[in-house]
Amino acid sequence: MALDIDPPDRVPSEAEIQDLERQLGFRLPDRFRALLPQLNGAEAEPNVIKGPGDEDYTINRFRKIEDIAQSKNAIDSENPSDLLLVPFAMDGCGDWFCVVAADCAEKGAVYFVDHEIAGDEAFSKVAASLDELIENAEPYVDTDEGDSTGIVVYAKPGFLEFFQEQEREKEKKRKERKEAKK
């Protein structure tokens, strides 16, 4: 896995996974079922996941199996689509990563749900599968070098595109300089 994940709180049993499916009323995607023992309540090391339009996403913590059904109820109250979404992880700002249930056309796809945006715009498909999401994760690198203070702010998606493009260009130049030194 490209995403570095601490060990889970505990490994759920097959009976607990089946009970979750009964509570949800549908089957979980096979790959999610297989990964659930590794993800149950686990924390992710600082990471960056590139989504559509070069939006950055981060996974902070995976949901515990006993919290997934309740979390799904919160997602369903905002879900404008007919997708059956299973919330399995959160970023550090109260937003959700959800996998699409096995019985849906997009089964196994991963959506990001922004709790501060209403309607369809809150739901962004970020990966075709859990494996793609995990493999696309990159370690977060703090570039502040010694700055011990920080402020967390929320910016609407797209607002930071100009600055993100500048950072990509700087990183590209750093890589080019590094390669030239070799």
In a domain? residue 87? yes
Report how far residue 109's alpha carbon sits from residue 64's, in angstroms, rounded to the nearest whole number.
20
pLDDT digits (tens, 9 = 90+) for 107-165: 999 999 888 888 778 888 999 999 998 888 888 876 665 555 555 555 555 555 665 67
5 located within any domain: no
Amino acid (1-letter code) at residue 36: L
60 and 50 in contact (C-beta within 8 Å)?
A: no
- Our count of domains for the chain comes to 1
Q: Is 135 domain-assigned?
A: yes
Residue 122 or 90, more confident: 90
**Pick the residue with more confidence: 82 or 106?**
106
Residue 113 lies in a domain: yes
Q: Give residue 156's pLDDT.
A: 53
Q: Kindly state whether residue 62 falls inside one of the protein's structural domains.
A: yes
Q: What's 128's domain CATH number? A: 3.40.1580.10
Tell me if 153 is assigned to some domain: no
Domain, as residue range, for 113: 14-139
Closest CA relative to residue 33, chosen from 4, 9, 13: 13
User: 31-80, pLDDT tens digit by residue?
Assistant: 999 999 999 999 888 888 887 777 888 898 999 999 998 888 777 777 76
Q: What is the pLDDT of residue 4?
A: 81
Phi, psi at residue 97, to the nearest 5°? -110, 130
pLDDT number for residue 50: 80
